[in-house]
Amino acid sequence: MKKIDILAVGAHPDDVELGVGGILASAIRMGSRVGVVDLTRGELASRGEVEIRSKEAQKAAEILGVTWRKNLKLPDRGIEICPENIILLTKLIRCSRPLIVLAPYYLDIHPDHVQTSKLVRQAWFDSGLKKYVSG
């Protein structure tokens, strides 16, 4: 996994674009390398199907010029703060070594956004613990 400057994590495939798309576009234009992680495929969304959302996410990544984009395929409305998910994200942070990690604000009406915020916070913290083994 390529090293990046900024890691942006969202619960659903369009969250990063809606939340920080402008920030990422500006940062990339100024030379930053950006990675995007979608935790779920958004399979429970009221609008759009998984296949279409996946294609849209890839197209958005191309337009923005992100270095890489990954979907962890966690269950929509089932993002758990559990050791497995923390380790998954901790490994990703350790491998890509971002200087900045962006996550949803922790106060949000959508429970998946709140869970994503908490999960990213724990993984980011654990990624800096030398004795924390992530496998």
Residue numbers at the binding site for Zn ion (CB under 5 A):
11-12, 15
- Minimal CB distance residue for Zn ion: 12
Closest to 28 measured CA to CA, from 17, 41, 13: 17
Q: How far is the CB of 106 from Zn ion (least distance, A)?
A: 14
φ and ψ at residue 39, rounded to 5 degrees: -75, -35
Q: Which residue number, 56 or 94, has a Cβ lying nearer to Zn ion?
A: 56
With respect to Zn ion, which residue has the nearer C-beta, 17 or 126? Answer: 17
DSSP 41: -
Q: List, in sequence order, every beta strand (DSSP E) within 11-97.
A: 34-40, 68-74
Q: Please, which residue, 15 or 17, has the CB nearer to Zn ion?
A: 15
CB 43, min distance to Zn ion, A: 12
Q: For Zn ion, which is the closer residue by CB, 54 or 95?
A: 54
CA gyration radius, the chain: 14
Minimum distance between the CB of residue 104 and Zn ion, rounded to whole angstroms?
Answer: 8
User: What angle is formed at CA 11 by the lines to CA 8 and CA 16, rounded to 5 degrees?
Assistant: 40
- Shorter beta-carbon distance to Zn ion: residue 98 or 104: 104
What's the min distance (Å) between Cβ of 15 and Zn ion? 4
Q: Minimal distance in Å, beta carbon 84 to Zn ion?
A: 21
- Cα 19 to Cα 11, 25, 31, 102, 125, distances in angstroms: 11, 12, 20, 10, 22
